[in-house]
Amino acid sequence: MRRPAVGGHGKGVAMASDGKTRIVVLGGGFAGVHAARALRRRLGADAEVTLINATNHFVFQPFLPEVAGGLINASDAVSPLRALLPGVRVRVAEVHGVDFEAKTVTVVQGMKRRPIPEPYDHLAIALGLGADLSGVPGMADHAYPIKSLADAHRLRNRVITCLEHADVTQDRELKRRLLNFVVIGAGFSGIEVAGELRELIDGALRYYPRIDRAEVGVHVLEFAPRILNELPESLASYAQARLEARGVSIRCGVAAKSLHARRLRLSNGETIESETVVATIGAAPHALVAALPLPNDRGRIRVDRSLRVEGRDDVWALGDAALIPLKDAPRDRADWAPPTAQFAVREARLLGDNVAAALAGAPLKPFAYASKGSMASLGGRRAVATVFGLRLSGFAAWLLWKAFYLSFLPGVATRVRVLVNWLLAAVLPRNAVQIDQSAARAARTVHFNAGDQVFEPGMISRAFYVILTGAFELTIEENRARRTLRLGPGEHFGERVILGEGERTGSVRVLEDSTVLRIEREDFERFAQGFAPLRDYFDRHLATRLPEDAPGAEAVALRSAG
């Protein structure tokens, strides 16, 4: 990722050509969606509110375990941003960088992948947290994360695949590995995933007569001394006892040391034979947030109590991306806002008020909010919760969990669909259908017609190409000179930018009807980095590409500017 430009403080407010203040919100999670909604309601037609997100939908994160467990449909855990945010301009794009001096956000979108500036007068950063599993060797390669809708859907398919194979295999060792499911992390997400997986498996076993329930193992590993550290110990003990009674094995005080394709090694020297390991750990700073030249504390942007970034009048941050003090002189962990949806919604409301106040020259309000409680679903119509100081467990807590999150869902239509699914699940078995999600091919054949423009200057590189048939014209502009080269079958292009620069400085045009083998950027990078002979080849190739006296190359000096 290109490092964002360091800009000024942006003291003034430069209006758009139509006289409206331009407010850009980065991120479409709880904080971003509610911030855009609050800004629209507070400012109305006097401001143009733009929300930029990589997808066109909002994901309701608390429902991902239920999607993985087959309790609700994947479509019911998401809502379209444009339907949620009437009057807000939604832009589906990747944020490539921020120039604080020019007051622009650089985004990449569309088929041409060209960087485009998005100007702003006020900027709200709500990009949340990223994921990083690199702390445990093999985790990033073999574990199943549960951070996105695709993750939840993939995990559900994986569990059903394991049941299908275990029902027919004659290999006892393979069957044991297939029926061992491990969840790493015993926070809210880990406990809820374990409970839902146990529920899914138990309900599906009626269709797999050669699998005995006693052969299935669902294991939860937690490095801390107990599970659910966010809840009182009495509720954590209830949750553990309830899960263990349903066949979930819980081990505390142990961590994952390394993960391989067929086994998990633990910090105490033991191993667990398993081919399905779910990682609910690994929260990390968002890559862009970590790269921005803003006051930063362990990957979170430092803001004052008004949510304004320290030292800037036109940049705000909220949600998981921000470090928000609850007191004027915070001292310990309890003096900072936790990264939860409950707090993000309240922060968003305050942001709307404070941006409106800043535009009017009025005083800003400090953020002050006390948590109303926490809760976790255990599956099997049981949950644990603390609400306004009261401790609840069992069926009553489960009903409260359902009601609370149903009220948090954005949009009446989504609430109705989820409620109907819950009611049906009370009388009907869970859906154990395996829906194939074919992974995108790392390499595929692409056909071009003569005259097509494959790349233009400034486009972001996404693939490496090997020419199978036809001919292409490669033009490179560097050092104030233009060089062109005709490429034919067996030759390639795209590696120069992937292995070196971040943007294309030249172009590729199709000279005749052609066919290429396209290899996606991430796969090409892994192969080139992991296979030394290939990397050596490209190092030599890049060093000699288009020398001044190369056959077929034409160097044309460019005129100097001015």
Residues 413-434, mean pLDDT to the nearest whole number: 79
Residues 61 and 341 sit within 8 Å (Cβ to Cβ): yes
Domain boundary assignment for the chain: 21-54+93-129+284-360, 139-281+374-425, 443-557
Q: For residues 535 and 528, is the Cβ–Cβ distance under 8 A?
A: yes
Least confident of 3-12, 261-270, 273-282, 333-342: 3-12
How many C-alpha atoms does 313 have within 13 Å on its Cβ side? 12
Among 70-79, 116-125, 518-527, name the most confident range: 116-125
Per-residue pLDDT band for 354 (boundaries 50, 70, 90) equals very high
Residues 123-137 have pLDDT tens digits of 999 998 888 888 899
Give, as one character, the DSSP assignment of residue 214. G
Which range has highest mean pLDDT (167-181, 398-412, 505-519)? 167-181
pLDDT at 397 over 60: yes
Select the more confidently predicted residue: 502 or 38: 38
| Confidence (pLDDT) at 558 | 31
Q: Give CA separation, 185 vs 9, 149, 219, 245, 506, in Å.
A: 41, 19, 10, 19, 47
Q: Is the pLDDT of residue 548 over 70?
A: no
The percentage of residues in the chain with a pLDDT greater than 70, rounded to a whole number, is 90
- Catalogue the E-assigned strands of 260-303: 263-266, 271-273, 276-279, 283-285, 296-297, 300-302
Residue type at 402?
K
Amino acid at 6: V
Assigned CATH topology for domain 443-557: Jelly Rolls (2.60.120)
pLDDT band per the 50, 70, 90 thresholds, residue 227: very high
- Out of 1-10, 252-261, 315-324, 343-352, pick the least confident: 1-10
Indicate the range of 401-410, 433-442, 451-460 predicted with least confidence: 433-442
Least confident among 358-367, 425-434, 470-479: 425-434
Alpha carbon 264 to its chain's center: 25
From CA 438, how far away is CA 440, in angstroms rounded? Answer: 6
Pairwise pLDDT comparison (537 vs 461), residue with the higher score: 537
User: Taking phi first (over 0 means left), then psi (-120 to 50 degrees means alpha), and beta for anything else, what does residue 103 get?
Assistant: left
The yes-or-no verdict on residue 111 having pLDDT over 90 is no
How much is the pLDDT for 112? 66
12 pLDDT band (50/70/90 cuts)?
very low
Residue type, 138: G
Quote the pLDDT of residue 34. Answer: 95
State which H helix or E strand residue 108 sits in.
Answer: strand 104-109
User: What stretches of 311-394 show up as alpha helix (H) in DSSP?
Assistant: 341-360
Judged against a pLDDT cut of 80, whether residue 79 lies above it is answered with yes
In the predicted structure, residue 547 carries a pLDDT above the cut 60: no
Rounded to whole angstroms, how far apart are CA atoms 382 and 377? 6
The stretch 531-551 carries a mean pLDDT of 70
Whether pLDDT at 509 is above 60: yes
Model confidence at 179, pLDDT cuts 50, 70, 90, reads: very high
Residues 504, 476 contacting (CB under 8 angstroms): no
DSSP state of 493: E
The domain 21-54+93-129+284-360 is placed in CATH, from the list 3.40.50.720, 3.40.50.300, 1.10.230.10, 3.50.50.60, at 3.50.50.60
Q: Which CATH class is domain 139-281+374-425?
A: alpha beta
Q: Which string of DSSP letters, residue by residue, matches 72-87?
A: S-GGGGEEEHHHHSTT
Radius of gyration of the chain (CA): 27
Q: What's residue 7's pLDDT?
A: 40
Instruction: Indicate whether 1 pLDDT > 50.
Output: no
Q: Which of 290-299, 331-340, 401-410 has the lowest mean pLDDT?
A: 401-410
The predicted structure's pLDDT at residue 440: 63
Biggest distance spanned by C-alpha atoms of the chain: 81
Greater confidence (216 vs 432) lies with: 216
User: Bigger pLDDT: 493 or 13?
Assistant: 493
pLDDT of 41 > 90? The answer is yes
Which of 396, 398, 392 is closest to 378 using CA atoms? 398
Rounded average pLDDT over 38-64: 94
DSSP string, 199-252: HHHHHHGGG-TT--GGG-EEEEEESSSSS-TTS-HHHHHHHHHHHHHTTEEEEE
Least reliable range by pLDDT among 24-38, 63-77, 281-295, 433-447: 433-447
Whole-number pLDDT of residue 78: 86
Q: What is the mean pLDDT of residues 240-263?
A: 95
> Considering the entire predicted model, what is its pTM?
0.82
Q: Which two tokens stand for residue 291?
A: 């790269």
> CA-CA distance, 351 to 318, in Å (whole number)?
8
**In the chain, pLDDT over 90 holds for what percent of residues?**
60
Fold agreement between 21-54+93-129+284-360 and 443-557: no
For position 242, what pLDDT does the model report?
96
pLDDT greater than 60 at residue 86: yes
26 DSSP β-pair partners: 52, 125
- Those residues with Cβ within 8 angstroms of residue 262's Cβ, 6 or more apart along the chain or in another chain: 177, 273, 274, 275
pLDDT for 246 equals: 94
Q: Facing residues of 109 across strands?
A: 114
Q: pLDDT confidence of 72, banded at 50, 70, 90?
A: confident
Q: For residue 408, what pLDDT is reported?
A: 75
Per-position DSSP letters for 350-401, written without gaps between them: HHHHHHHHHHHTPPPPPP-----EEEEEEETTEEEEEETTEEEEEHHHHHHH
Average pLDDT, rounded, for the chain: 87
Work out the pLDDT band at 468, boundaries 50, 70, 90: very high
Q: Which two tokens stand for residue 103?
A: 């007051």
How confident is the model at residue 130, as a pLDDT?
Answer: 82
Q: What band does 545 get if pLDDT is binned at 50, 70 and 90?
A: low
Quick check: 225 pLDDT over 80?
yes
Q: What is the mean pLDDT of residues 165-177?
A: 95
Residue 5 has pLDDT above 60, yes or no: no
DSSP assignment letter at 560: P
pLDDT score recorded for residue 535: 84
> CB neighbours (10 Å) of residue 254?
13
| Range of weakest confidence among 24-38, 182-196, 291-305, 411-425 | 411-425
What is the Cα–Cα distance from 337 to 325, expressed in whole angstroms? 6
Q: Which residue has the higher pLDDT, 535 or 390?
A: 390
pLDDT of residue 152: 93
Question: What average pLDDT does this structure show over 223-235?
Answer: 94
